[in-house]
Every structure is written in C-alpha cells, then in structure tokens.
C-alpha cells in the first residue's frame, strides 16, 4: 500500500518529497483547482514578450482584475481559483479574514514568497529545536529557490540560507535604504534593530517586470504547484486532483480517508496538509478525534507607513523592479515582546496611489494629483507580532459540516504593535525615512495568514495537542504536517519552517 498526503500546498509538497525520498509510493489528494484558461491566456501572452514591449492597455487589463477583487478575497491573474470564499468554510459571516484554498499548490499561488526560518530563541520550550529542523531546511532548499544574501540577519537566522546565496536586484529605493542599513548597522543594533535584504522564494531568472502583486507572468515566484509538476514523472506518485476529503479514520493496519462524494481511499499512513482551516474541519469531522473545538493562534500584523525625506534620484515607478518585500527588520526589545518582532519593508508599488486616493480622496478631492507623487515617496513596513500577544480563533463544527469561528483578542495587541511602530520609526530615521507611527493599524484577525498552532506538538499529546510527529493522542498513522502543529507562531515568516517541519515529520515517521 501507499502513503496518502492530503494537500499539495507547501506543507503537503514537502511531505511528498520526503516520503518519495524514503522510497515510498504516495497518493496525493487535493482540491484540484487551477488557473482557468481565460486567465492563463493573458498571463502567457505577457510571458511571451519582453516587458518593454508590453502594450499599456494589456498591462492595465491585467492589473484591473486585482483592483476589482471582491471584499475579503485576494487574487492574482484576475482569478479566484486559489482562495475559497468565506461562505465555503464558515457557517456564519464573521470577523475572521483567514481563507482556505482548494487549489493545486494551495495558497502558494497567492503568497508573497517571503521566507525566513524560525529563530532558535523563538522555539524555546518546544519539543523540537532549531537544530532538529536544520537538516530539513537544507532538504527543502533542494527544491525551493531562495533569493538572499549573507548580511546582518545571517547569524540570527542562519537556516534556510542557500550555501552560495544570490539576491534579486532590489528596487531603486531599496538599494539606497539597504546601503544606509549597512553603514548605520551599529546605530541600528544599539536600538535592537537588525535590517537586511529580504529573502524571497523566487527564481533568479525573474524579469523584474513589477507584476509580483498581480501574478508573475513567467512563474518566477515559487508555487508548490511548480515542484509538484516536476515530480509528476515519478511513477510512485499518484496525484488525484479534485478529491475533497471529509474525514479520516485509522484501522488496525492502515488508514481510511473518506471523500465528500462518499468514496474511500485507503493507505498505510496519512499526512494531513490541507491548510489550517480545512485540517481543523477534517479533524473535527473524524471519528476517533476527541476534541470538539480547536483554537488557532495568529502572528497578527499591522502596517507602518513612512515617507522618504529626499526622493530617489531614479523614479521608483519605472521598470525594472520587483514589488515583493525588499528588506526584513528584526526587532529585539523585551519591553515590547520577549520574542522577535518582524518587519517586511515594501517600496513603491501601483497599489499605493490607489489606496491613498481611496482612503483620503473623498475628504481631500482637490489634491488628487498629489497622491501619485506622495506614493513615490511612500515606504510601508508590515510588522508582525509573536502569537503569544495576538488573537485566538476557536473553531467548532457547525451542523452543516462547515466551521463556526469565535475570536478572542488580547487587550494589549494594538498597544504592542504601536510600540513596535514607534520604535521602528525611530530606527528608520537612520535610513532617511520619516515614519508615521500614529497611522499604524492592526490587521483583522486571520488577515496575516500566519496562523496555526491549533494542535501544537508537545511532549504530552492529548486531544488538542499532537506528539512531535504531528499525531494527536490515540493516533498512530495520522500525522498532521501543516502549521496546525507548530507550538506557536513566531513573527518571522511561517511557510519555510512549516515546510521544514513537514519534511522532518514525513522523514521520521515509520516507512
């Protein structure tokens, strides 16, 4: 018999890779959605021509799909294939901005590609250490392209860094800021700030066409679907797209996966990687899973705007450039958090002027021409806090099989974020930026998508805690491998540690 992996997002693909490396046969089930042909065609047309030859009208049409997304939906390629609407997952409309995916490749069709490992200090008290994960980060780097450089972040976050790193050319604004971060490194360090180049899961043939937030035409931004495509030639991998899992059961000799159409798939062992919402839904519907609720924890985020005091010599809105995060900031300050606070710095992108106009346009219609000029000086940092300080989202099974969500938000989350914003604003002065900390806003619960820890790995597993192989108490062949099993959600990015941990569990689980 074969192993079963549920989900072809980053965690599922890491588990598939590890099981194939052990010589196991794998049945891979997922929701099966892919980009529709009518949306793939404009993408392929842009990919087939150099950006300098693109027609302005084609570019405008390509971007319009994202500008017109429904509230709460995040899109790329003008398509909603990669993100399920809230009503598919939740029985009642509520305050949770987190969404599930039933796509091949999952939410990695939409992600921002920012990749960092978890710092050893943020894993204190876990049943696994940073050292346990280190070889699995290396295994993941065997199929995940990472753009990076060895800089001020390297000794704090050494894992997940390629042996011979090379960096995507930063945007013109980021080049200036990164150069200042190097010359002012001591002053920043004295304030508990380390600033280095962002690390992104992007291939080095990126064309710097500025379409990162709309859908990369050439597929240089990694998606788990890319690695799946590369593995499909392996006769031991049986990919079965469009098979929606409802529940899982263990038998004396194996596992049974129950599909929503009533069919069953059997195997030796199952690795559950359906993304934290769908994983909770499947577990809560499974006989033998004792808990009637699961509580997700989030690394919540907020945005700190800042303005360049002197404009760039080169206009930031002219190509070539990319619009992914350009720099990472790691903040250490016990008064704000015993854990790292993480920041991702974005320079110019085409959403800035639109967002400024939409937020302030009605109040200040006479200065409409100013927004594009202001947008060219705007630098925005997305700040993340450790989950110890953030929202808890409790999930229960509704009568119709969907989820009911209840949110609890600690009283001091916003205050901590504002303290972090004020501290960062002081540091950003060294880079020639005037931060606007009074404008720092906390994102809605779930909106960071850095969410998990609903079945945390523990030395003593029970109905709501798994062992170090992702098994809730009583399970021996069911391994949860997505972010559900992280003991907490650190502020640094979530997906790379989830992939390394999924690879570790799938390697250490009996063959």
Report the run of H or E that residue 383 belongs to, with start and end. Answer: strand 378-384
CB 435 within 8 A of CB 424: yes
Structure tokens at 469: 């192989």
> If DSSP codes are grouped into helix, strand and coil, which group holds residue 296?
strand
Question: Is 8 a binder of ligand FAD (CB under 6 A)?
Answer: yes
Determine contact, residues 454/465, Cβ cutoff 8 Å. Answer: no
From candidates 137, 352, 384, 449, binder to ligand FAD by CB under 6 A: 449
Q: How does DSSP assign 20-55, residue by residue?
A: HHTT--EEEEE--B---HHHHHHHHHHHTS-GGG--
Asked whether position 35 contacts ligand FAD by CB under 6 A, the answer is no
Could you tell me the smallest distance in angstroms from the CB atom of residue 27 to ligand FAD? 12
Q: Does 494 bind ligand FAD (CB under 6 A)?
A: yes
E strand map for 74-198: 193-197
**Residues facing 202 on adjacent strands:** 221
State the binding string over 278-297 for ligand FAD (x if CB under 6 A, else -). Answer: x---x---------------
CB–CB of 418/437 below 8 Å? yes
Task: Mark the segment that binds ligand FAD (CB under 6 A) among 268-276, 314-322, 330-338, 369-377.
Answer: 268-276
Please give the size of the binding site for ligand FAD, defined by CB under 6 A.
Answer: 37
**Chosen residue from 2, 5, 12, 75 binding ligand FAD by CB under 6 A:** 12
248 versus 356: smaller Cβ distance to ligand FAD = 248
466 sits near ligand FAD (criterion: CB under 6 A)? no
- Strand, helix or coil at 486? coil
Alpha helices in 90-171 (DSSP H): 130-141
What span, in angstroms and rounded, lies between the C-alpha atoms of 57 and 339? 47
Minimum CB separation from ligand FAD for residue 243, in Å?
Answer: 6
Q: Contacting ligand FAD (CB under 6 A), which of 111, 118, 271, 348?
A: 111
Cβ atoms 136, 496 nearer than 8 A: no
Does position 387 interact with ligand FAD (CB under 6 A)? The reply is no
Interface with ligand FAD includes 80 (CB under 6 A)?
no
Quick note: the x/- pattern for ligand FAD over 40-79, rule CB under 6 A, is ----------------------------------x-----
- Is residue 160 a contact point for ligand FAD (CB under 6 A)? no
The residues with which 382 forms a beta bridge, in sequence order, are 303, 344
The window from 4-12, 85-93, 283-291, 454-462 that contacts ligand FAD (CB under 6 A) reads: 4-12
Residue from 66, 89, 113, 466 in contact with ligand FAD (CB under 6 A): 113
Kindly state whether residue 461 participates in binding ligand FAD, applying the rule CB under 6 A.
no
What CA–CA distance (Å, rounded) separates 378 from 505?
Answer: 43
Cα dihedral across residues 255, 259, 264, 266: positive or negative? negative
Nearer to ligand FAD, 177 or 483 (CB): 483
Q: What are phi and psi of 136, to 5 degrees?
A: -80, -30
Binding positions for ligand FAD, rule: CB under 6 A:
6-12, 29-31, 74, 100-103, 106-108, 110-114, 244-245, 273-275, 278, 282, 449, 482-483, 493-495, 498
């Amino acid at each position: 018999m074969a192993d079963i992996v549920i989900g072809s997002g980053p965690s599922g693909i890491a588990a598939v890779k590890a099981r194939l490396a052990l010589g196991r046969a794998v049945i891979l089930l997922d929701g099966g959605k892919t980009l529709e042909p009518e949306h793939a065609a404009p993408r392929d047309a842009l990919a087939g021509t150099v950006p300098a030859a693109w027609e302005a009208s084609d570019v405008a049409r390509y971007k319009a799909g994202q500008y017109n997304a429904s509230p709460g939906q995040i899109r790329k390629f003008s398509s909603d294939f990669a993100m399920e609407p809230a009503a598919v997952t939740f029985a009642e409309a509520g305050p949770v901005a987190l969404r599930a995916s039933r796509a091949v490749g999952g939410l990695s069709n939409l992600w921002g590609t920012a990749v960092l490992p978890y710092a050893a200090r943020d894993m204190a008290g876990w049943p696994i250490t940073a050292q346990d994960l280190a070889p699995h980060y290396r295994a993941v780097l065997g199929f995940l392209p990472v753009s990076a450089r060895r800089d001020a972040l390297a000794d704090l976050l050494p894992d997940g860094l390629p042996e011979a790193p090379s960096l995507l050319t930063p945007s013109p604004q980021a080049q200036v800021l990164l150069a200042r971060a190097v010359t002012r490194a001591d002053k920043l360090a004295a304030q508990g700030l380390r600033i280095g180049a962002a690390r992104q899961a992007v291939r080095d043939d990126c064309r710097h066409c500025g379409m990162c937030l709309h859908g990369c035409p050439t597929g240089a931004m990694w998606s788990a679907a890319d690695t799946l495509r590369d593995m499909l030639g392996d006769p031991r991998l049986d990919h079965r797209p469009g098979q929606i899992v409802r529940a899982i059961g263990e038998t004396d000799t194996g596992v049974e996966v129950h599909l929503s159409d009533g069919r069953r798939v059997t195997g030796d062992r199952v690795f559950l990687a359906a993304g934290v919402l769908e994983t909770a839904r499947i577990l809560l519907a499974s006989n033998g899973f004792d808990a009637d609720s699961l509580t997700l924890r989030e690394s919540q985020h907020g945005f700190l705007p800042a303005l360049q005091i002197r404009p760039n010599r080169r206009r930031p809105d002219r190509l070539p450039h990319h619009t992914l995060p350009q720099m990472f900031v790691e903040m250490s300050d016990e008064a704000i958090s015993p854990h790292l606070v993480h920041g991702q710095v974005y320079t110019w992108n085409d959403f800035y002027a639109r967002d400024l106009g939409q937020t302030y346009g009605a109040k200040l219609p006479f200065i409409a021409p100013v927004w594009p000029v202001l947008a060219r000086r705007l630098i925005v940092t997305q700040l993340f806090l450790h989950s110890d300080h953030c929202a808890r989202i409790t999930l229960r099974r509704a009568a119709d099989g969907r989820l009911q969500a209840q949110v609890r938000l600690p009283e001091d989350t916003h205050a901590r974020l504002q303290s972090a914003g004020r501290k960062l604003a002081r540091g950003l002065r060294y880079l020639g930026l005037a931060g606007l900390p009074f404008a720092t806003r906390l994102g809605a619960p779930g909106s960071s998508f850095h969410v998990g820890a609903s079945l945390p790995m523990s030395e003593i597993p029970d109905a709501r805690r798994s062992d170090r192989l992702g098994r809730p108490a009583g399970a021996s062949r069911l391994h949860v491998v997505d972010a559900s099993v992280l003991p907490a959600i650190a502020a640094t990015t979530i997906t790379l540690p989830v992939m390394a941990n999924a690879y570790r569990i799938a390697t250490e689980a009996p063959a």
